[in-house]
Amino acid sequence: MKKPSLRSVLPLLFRYVAIMIVLLFTVGPFLWLLSTSLKSAGENIFAYPPMFVPQQPTLDNFFRVVESQPFFVYLKNSALVAALSVALNLLLASLAAYPLARIPFTGRAVLFIVLLSSMMIPFQLLMIPVYELAISLGLQNTYLGLVLPHACTAFGIFFMRQAFLSVPAAIEEAAIMDGVSRLRIWWFVMLPLVKPSLATLAVFSFIAVWGDFLWPLIIIDQPSLFTLPLGVNRLASTFSLDWRLVAAGAVFSIIPILLFFTFTQRYFIEGAMKGAVKG
Amino acid sequence: MSALSLRGITKQFGKTETIHGIDLEIDAGEFVVFVGPSGCGKSTLLRMIAGLEEVTAGAIKIGDRDVTTRPPSERRVAMVFQSYALYPHMTVAENLSFGMRMRGVAKGVIAQKVQMAVEMLRLAPYLDRKPGALSGGQCQRVAIGRALVQEPDVFLFDEPLSNLDAELRLKTRLEIAALHKRLGKTMIYVTHDQVEAMTLADKIVVLRDGVVEQVGKPMDLYHSPANLFVAGFIGSPAMNFLPAEFMALAEFNQAVFADGSQWLLGKKDAPVGKVTVGIRPEHIRLDRSSAMRARVNTVEQLGATAYLYCSVAGQPICIEVRGVIDARVGDEIGLHTAPEHIHLFDAQGVAI
C-alpha cells in the first residue's frame, strides 16, 4: 500500500486541529461544569494544575442540590412554562406569519419591517415598560406572567413567514379551489408542510425560555414559582458559593435541553439548513 | 346561453396592463384551448376565470351567474395545475376527498364521488400512496380526479402536461380527450403547445400580448389564419413567410420576390404592392420543371418525412417531404405550391 504523503495528510490534520479547538471552546466549559459537579468535597476544585477527571467521582452534589432546594418544583415550573411558551409561540407565530407570507393586504410590507425592527431592540430596553404592563395586568407571581413574553416572538413570526414562503403557491391555490377556508388551509395544509421549521422554532424557543433568567427574576419572587435558572442562582447565594452545588444545579437544568434537542435534532438540522438556503 | 362568457376583461398588475379587454363566449360542453407564447396572458386569463386573480375591469359569467367578484369556491369551477399541486402529506384518497371533507360533505357522498373518480381514472392501486411515491403521469391523474370530484360546471387546465415527458404527454392528452367526451363538460385548457391545441380543442383562442388574435375551430385557424402571428403559431413546422410584391396580371396574379423570381398565385387577389407570402412546409412540392428555384442548406431525414431547409430569394424556408429524399446540401431544387395553399398578408400582417 502506498504511504500517504505529508501533503495529503496536512490539510486533514489541520482540519482536525481546528475542530478540536472549536470543540474546546464550545463543549469544554460544559465538560468542566460536569467535572466540577462530580467532584467530591475532599477534592480541591481550584487545584493547580487543574484536574479535569474527578479523582473520587460522586453524585452526592446532585443529592444535596435536590435536598437543599425544591429543585423538582423548579423543574416542574420550568417544564410547564417552557411547554406553554413553546406551544403558544408555535401556534401564534405561525398564525401571524401566514398572512404576512401569503395573504396580500394593505400595509403588509410595513408591518413586516416593523416586526423585523422590533427584533433589533434589546430586551433590557423594554424590560421596564413590559414589567409595568405585567404588573398592571396582575401577572406578577403567575405562570401566565412567565409565559406571555415568550408566547409570540418576532423572531418566530419572521422564521415561520420564511417557511410558509417556501411552500409552492399552487398547493394553497388548489385548496382554495377546493373551497377550503384560509384558517383550515393554514391548519390542514400549510402547517403539516412546514413541520421541520416548526420543530426548529420549537428548539429555539425552548432554549430561550428554559435559559431565561432576567424576566423570571423580575416578575417572580415566590420560590414556589421559581424556574430552574432562579433555583441555580439561589444555590449560589444560600451556600456562600459552593461551586460543586452550583455546577450540579446547572447540569441538572441543562439535561432537559439536551434531551429535547436529541429528540428534535433531525428536524432542527433539516430546518436550519432550509433556512440557510431559502433565507 | 353560453356556459361561460367574458366581457371586456382587463387585468393590471400595478400600472402594467397585461390583458387588454377580452370578449369571449364559450358554449356548454365545449373544449376550448387558450394558446399563445409565454407571457401572452393565457394563464392569467384562466386564473381570472378561476377566481385566483382579480379582474381589473369587465365581467365573467358562468351560466347566468355573474361571478366576477365571487370567490373561487362559489364559481363551480375546478382547476388542474401544471405542477399537480397535490397535498404532499396526504395519500391519494385523502387528496381526492380533502375538499369535500373540509366543506362538510356527508361521508357517503364523499365515498361515492371518490369511487367514481378512482374508477374513471384507474387510481385504485395508488389510493394509499402519497404523491411522492407516484410518477408524474399518476400525479396528474390524481390532480384531474381532485377536479372531477368537485363536479364543476367548468374544468380549467393550466398547462397540465408541461411537466410530463413526451410519451406520457401523448398518453395523458388522449386521456383528457376521452374524459371530455365521456363527461361532456365545458373545459378550458391553457397550453403553449400548438399540437395540444390542435388535437384537443373544439375551439382555439390564440392570444398574444393580452389580446385575442383569433378564435376558431382548429382547422379553420390552420386553413384561414387571420394574421401573420396566427399563421406562424398554428402548424408545425411553422408556416414560411416570404416578403414579396403583389402583381395583378391579365391571366394570373403573381408574387415577385426581391431577386426577381416569381410565384404564381392563380386567381388569388390582393391590392397591388407589398405583401407577405405564407406557405406551409407541407404544401410545397418538389418540381424539377418549376421556375421557382431554391438552394438546399440543410436536410433532416426523419424516416417517414424529411425536412429541407432552403433559401428562396435570400429568405429561409422549410419544405416537408413525405418519405426519403435524395437531395443534398447545395443542390438546387424546383418548388411548386397550389395557389389555394398560398396565404397572402398585407403590410400590417393581416390576412388578405
Q: Give pLDDT tens digits for A69-82.
A: 888 899 999 999 99
| Domain coordinates in residue numbering, chain B | 4-229, 237-345
Partner residue facing B81 (CB), from A174, A180, A184: A174
Last residue of a domain, one of A18, A34, A58: A58
Do B81 and A175 count as a contact with CB atoms less than 8 A apart?
no
What is the number of CB-based contacts under 8 A between chain A and chain B? 62
Same-domain status, A232 and A150? yes
Same-domain status, A142 and A179? yes
- By the CB < 8 Å criterion, does A104 face chain B? no
Instruction: Identify the pLDDT of residue B250.
Output: 65
Could you tell me the residue range of the domain that residue A113 belongs to? 62-278
- By the CB < 8 Å criterion, does A184 face chain B? yes
Chain B residues in contact with A189 by the CB 8 A cut-off are 87
Answer whether residue A1 shows pLDDT above 70: no
CATH 3.40.50.300 fits B4-229, yes or no: yes
Partner residue facing A177 (CB), from B50, B87, B88: B50
Q: Output the average pLDDT for chain A.
A: 87
Instruction: Identify the pLDDT of residue A209.
Output: 94
The b-or-e profile of B83-104 (16+ CB within 10 A means b, else e) is bbbbbbbbbbbbbbbbbbebee
Chain A residues in contact with B88 by the CB 8 A cut-off are 171, 193
Peptide bond just before B237 cis, omega within 30 deg: yes
Same-domain status, A45 and A21? yes
Residue whose entry in the numeric block shows the C-alpha cell 414560411: B240
Spatial strand order of the sheet with B154-158 comes to B77-80, B154-158, B186-191, B31-35, B203-208, B211-216
Residue A268 falls inside a structural domain:
yes
Same-domain status, A92 and A32? no
- List B273's β-bridge partners, or say none: B246
Last residue of a domain, one of A14, A33, A58: A58
Instruction: Identify the pLDDT of residue A2.
Output: 63
Same-domain status, A45 and A70? no
Same-domain status, A130 and A163? yes
Same-domain status, A25 and A112? no
Chain B residues in contact with A178 by the CB 8 A cut-off are 73, 98-99, 102-103, 146, 150
Q: What is the mean pLDDT of residues A115-136?
A: 91
Residue A83 falls inside a structural domain:
yes
Do A171 and B79 count as a contact with CB atoms less than 8 A apart?
no
Which band of pLDDT confidence, cut at 50, 70 and 90, is reported for residue A276?
very low
Residues 74-103 of B with CB under 8 A from A: 77-79, 81-83, 85-89, 98-99, 102-103
- By the CB < 8 Å criterion, does B255 face chain A? no
User: Is-contact B85 B154, C-beta < 8 A?
Assistant: no
Nearest chain A CA: its distance from B72 CA (Å): 6
Q: What is the mean pLDDT of residues A215-222?
A: 93
Which band of pLDDT confidence, cut at 50, 70 and 90, is reported for residue A213?
very high
Instruction: Identify the pLDDT of residue A278.
Output: 30
Q: Which of B79, B96, B110 to mutate to test the interface with A (most CBs of A within 10 A)?
A: B79
Q: Report helix angle B92-102 to B107-121, nearest 10.
A: 140
Answer whether residue A277 shows pLDDT above 50: no
- H-type helices in A69-194, by residue range? 71-102, 108-118, 123-136, 143-147, 154-165, 169-177, 182-184, 191-193
Do A174 and B87 count as a contact with CB atoms less than 8 A apart?
yes
Do A175 and B89 count as a contact with CB atoms less than 8 A apart?
no
CATH of the domain at A77: 1.10.3720.10
pLDDT, tens digit (0-9, with 9 covering 90-100), for B323-343: 878 888 988 898 888 888 989
User: For the domain B237-345, what is the CATH superfamily, name and number?
Assistant: Nucleic acid-binding proteins (2.40.50.140)
Answer whether residue A6 shows pLDDT above 90: no
Same-domain status, A87 and A148? yes
Nearest CA in chain A to B74: A179
* Distance separating alpha carbons of residues A42 and A221, to the nearest angstrom: 35
Q: What is the mean pLDDT of residues A192-203?
A: 90
Same-domain status, A166 and A195? yes
Residue A235 falls inside a structural domain:
yes
Same-domain status, A256 and A146? yes
Q: Report helix angle A243-278 to A60-68, nearest 10.
A: 90
Q: Which residues are CB-neighbours of A268 under 8 A, at least 6 positions away?
A: A199, A200, A203, A261
Residue A1 falls inside a structural domain:
no
Do B102 and A177 count as a contact with CB atoms less than 8 A apart?
no
* Distance separating alpha carbons of residues A61 and A247, to the nearest angstrom: 9
* Distance separating alpha carbons of residues A26 and A17, to the nearest angstrom: 14
Do A177 and B83 count as a contact with CB atoms less than 8 A apart?
no
* Distance separating alpha carbons of residues B86 and B252, to the nearest angstrom: 61
The low-confidence residues of chain B, meaning pLDDT below 70, are: 1-2, 250, 267-268, 270
Chain B residues in contact with A177 by the CB 8 A cut-off are 50, 52, 72-73, 77-79, 99, 150
Peptide bond just before A196 cis, omega within 30 deg: no
- By the CB < 8 Å criterion, does A177 face chain B? yes
Nearest CA in chain B to A192: B89
User: Is-contact A146 A220, C-beta < 8 A?
Assistant: yes
Amino acid A207 reads I
Chain B residues in contact with A184 by the CB 8 A cut-off are 102
Instruction: Identify the pLDDT of residue A279.
Output: 29
Answer whether residue A274 shows pLDDT above 80: no
Instruction: Identify the pLDDT of residue A240.
Output: 62
* Backbone φ and ψ of B55, nearest 5°: -90, 130
Same-domain status, A76 and A153? yes
Percent of chain A whose predicted confidence (pLDDT) is above 70: 93
Q: What is the mean pLDDT of residues A157-169?
A: 94
Nearest CA in chain B to A190: B87
Query: Number of structural domains, chain A?
Result: 2
Do A184 and B102 count as a contact with CB atoms less than 8 A apart?
yes
pLDDT, tens digit (0-9, with 9 covering 90-100), for B32-52: 999 999 889 999 999 999 999
User: Is-contact B275 B344, C-beta < 8 A?
Assistant: yes
Answer whether residue A154 shows pLDDT above 70: yes
Same-domain status, A42 and A119? no
Do A178 and B102 count as a contact with CB atoms less than 8 A apart?
yes
